[in-house]
Amino acid sequence: MEKPIVYDNKPIAKDLKTGQYFWCACGKSASQPYCDGSHKGSGISPLKVVINEDKSVNWCACKHSANKPFCDGTHKVF
């Protein structure tokens, strides 16, 4: 299995509507922070996230957060 690629060293802030999202865990997606299928063959799978109410979130863009898929500040080491 490959290691995730650091997409960015800051979180991606989004206002989300209630629904289902697939967070890119590999860092290869051109549709960050969402999966576009670029992970195929990497051994890394996207993370399904269910949002139960409209809210703002900070998606992890470094792909190394301990609180995946959300930012926990880990990006500060990259």
Asked if the structure places residue 78 within a domain, the reply is no
pTM higher than 0.85: yes
Q: What is the number of domains present in the chain? A: 1
Asked if the structure places residue 17 within a domain, the reply is yes
Looking at residues 68-74, what average pLDDT do you find? Answer: 97
Asked if the structure places residue 2 within a domain, the reply is no
| Domain with 31 in it | 12-72
Q: What is the pLDDT of residues 9-43, one digit of tens each?
A: 999 999 999 999 999 999 999 999 999 999 999 99
| C-alpha neighbours within 13 Å on the C-beta side of residue 61 | 16
Phi, psi of 77 (to 5 degrees): -90, -5
Q: Which residues contact 19 (CB under 8 A, 6 or more apart)?
A: 50, 51
